[in-house]
Amino acid sequence: MKKLFIETLGCAMNMRDSEHMIAELNREESYELTHSLGEADLILINTCSVREKPVAKLFSEIGVFAKSKKEGAKIGVCGCTASHLGEEIIKRAPVVDFVLGARNVSKINEVIGKKHAVEISIEFDESAYAFADYRTNPFRSMVNISIGCDKQCTFCIVPATRGDEISIPSELIVQEIHKSVAQGAREVMLLGQNVNNYGRRFSASQESCDFTQLLQKISEIEGLERIRFTSPHPLHMDDRFLEEFASNRKICKQIHIPLQSGSSRVLQEMKRGYTKEWFLNRCAKVRALAPEAVISTDIIVGFPGESDADFEETMDVLEKVRFEQLFSFKYSPRPQTAAAEYSDQIDSEAASLRLARLQARHTEILDEIMDAQAGRVHSVFFDELKDNGRCAGRSDDGKLVFVEGSEELLGTIKRVRITKSSRSALDGVVLEG
């Protein structure tokens, strides 16, 4: 059997793309996954290009991989940086055998046999492609509901790497979830760059279906207990969607609402389409309808032209919403994006100071949230066995929970009383009955 080493960077969509590539490869030939570079017959790097740093690291990594690989092993660069740099990757690193874009993963078996093949078209439509089956975690499935992104956020490279947004037909989504449930999954994570824009465009005619209707259809699937999704866009969070989120028992009460900036002026420069007030209003609506819901977010600091006063607006939203999880980044100018051309780029040191302040305050908030967890009861879906006799799972609101336990807990949902908390996880005991 051939051996495959695959490194996956970036977001959940990339994780699912890696699963799709593993599945497609196994259609033609059996591959076993390996963590050892020296053993691999095929090395895949599934890249992310959302910020500059990982892109800069790619070429040094290719160098390391080339030195460690065994004679004759192939190296493929896939994902968003593949889409973005294309041929240039092979020019700069001829040791790379092929380049496969984020929107072309179904072509893995085509490129693997062609020396220096480059397949990166962002027009290619994989929205109705029937991928073969492979899941990293049998209890929890990831299912794409759309590809690409139609937004033109001025900081973001994704429309250039993943192309226009096309929704996947709802029957295919439902079919795929049925299949994963039959194989043991009880939870699904619905994936898209902008999930609540679902249904705006399909590649073939299909009955109209928006995200709220899709959630309703999916929640009818018997045996499926939990539905998660990432990421919704604050602009498309209408009341109907939030009411469904709050009232549908199967939808986990955890929602990622990417803020990006708390300043309405900066949001306008980012072309996000909403204001600080709208964002706060949506979070307040979530809290009013589902007080137990956890809200997480993404924030960029140091966007071109961000003043001290703009940054204070971001700090103000942090105080008001008290996000449980915060993914925060220093603005990174990206090629093919409008903001990279703005003349008022921010000094990197100043941006670092803002980032440090934001993160420090968030850590305090997080500590307060986690400290209050002891004694609470969560319903936890166990899906991973640890080496030290412990079992790990996620609470409905997305917290990582550990208990003493073995295989029999896997795939089950149990009530757990929390005994101890840290910043990133909880310890607890399973309650009987």
Residue 253 has which token pair? Answer: 């009460």
Place of tokens 């794409």: 144
Task: With CB under 6 A as the rule, give the number of residues binding ligand 5AD.
Answer: 12
- Whether the ω angle into residue 141 lies within 30 degrees of 0, i.e. cis, is no
The residue among 51 and 399 lying less far from ligand 5AD, judged by its C-beta, is 51
Counting contacts by CB under 6 A, is residue 10 touching ligand SF4?
Answer: yes
Position among 16, 51, 228, 378 found at the interface with ligand 5AD (CB under 6 A): 51
Task: With CB under 6 A as the rule, give the number of residues binding ligand SF4.
Answer: 13
Q: Give me the 150-179 binding string for ligand SF4, x by CB under 6 A, dash otherwise.
A: --------x--xx-----------------
Binding partner at 334 among ligand SF4, ligand 5AD, none, C-beta below 5 to 8 Å by kind: ligand 5AD
CA distance 188 to 375: 28
Q: Give me the 9-48 binding string for ligand 5AD, x by CB under 6 A, dash otherwise.
A: ----------------------------------------
The residue among 177 and 300 lying less far from ligand 5AD, judged by its C-beta, is 300
The residue among 99 and 392 lying less far from ligand SF4, judged by its C-beta, is 99
CA distance 180 to 386: 23
CA distances from 393 to 65, 91, 250, 326, 413 (A): 34, 45, 17, 21, 9
Counting contacts by CB under 6 A, is residue 314 touching ligand SF4?
Answer: no
Residue 399 has which token pair? Answer: 């917290």
Binding partner at 332 among ligand SF4, ligand 5AD, none, C-beta below 5 to 8 Å by kind: ligand 5AD
CA distance 366 to 326: 9
Minimum distance, C-beta of residue 12 to ligand SF4, in the bound complex (Å): 8
**Which CB contacts under 8 angstroms, 24+ apart, belong to 95-102?**
95/62, 95/66, 96/62, 98/74, 100/21, 100/76, 101/161, 102/13, 102/14, 102/17, 102/78, 102/161, 102/162
Amino acid 298 reads D
Q: Give me the 16-55 binding string for ligand SF4, x by CB under 6 A, dash otherwise.
A: --------------------------------xxx-----
The residue among 80 and 391 lying less far from ligand SF4, judged by its C-beta, is 80
The residue among 143 and 418 lying less far from ligand SF4, judged by its C-beta, is 143
Name residues contacting ligand SF4, limited to 81-120 (CB under 6 A).
102
Assign residue 398 a region (left: φ > 0; alpha: ψ between -120 and 50; beta: otherwise). Answer: left
Minimum distance, C-beta of residue 333 to ligand 5AD, in the bound complex (Å): 7
DSSP-derived pairing of the beta strands 325-330 and 31-33: unpaired
Minimum distance, C-beta of residue 48 to ligand SF4, in the bound complex (Å): 3
CA distance 79 to 85: 10
Q: How far is CA 87 from the centre of its chain?
A: 27
Name residues contacting ligand 5AD, limited to 258-317 (CB under 6 A).
258, 260, 298, 300
DSSP-derived pairing of the beta strands 377-385 and 413-421: antiparallel
Counting contacts by CB under 6 A, is residue 50 touching ligand 5AD?
Answer: yes
- Find the Cα–Cα–Cα–Cα dihedral 34, 36, 41, 44, rounded to 10°: 80
Minimum distance, C-beta of residue 214 to ligand 5AD, in the bound complex (Å): 22
Counting contacts by CB under 6 A, is residue 254 touching ligand SF4?
Answer: no
The residue among 88 and 368 lying less far from ligand SF4, judged by its C-beta, is 88
Contact 256, 411 (CB under 8 A): no
Binding partner at 79 among ligand SF4, ligand 5AD, none, C-beta below 5 to 8 Å by kind: ligand SF4
Position among 331, 381, 382, 402 found at the interface with ligand 5AD (CB under 6 A): 331
Contact 215, 179 (CB under 8 A): no
The widest CA-to-CA distance across the chain, in whole angstroms, is 63
Only segment of 7-15, 227-235, 360-368, 391-399 that touches ligand SF4 (CB under 6 A):
7-15
Minimum distance, C-beta of residue 344 to ligand SF4, in the bound complex (Å): 24
Site for ligand SF4, rule CB under 6 A: 10-11, 13-14, 48-50, 79-80, 102, 158, 161-162
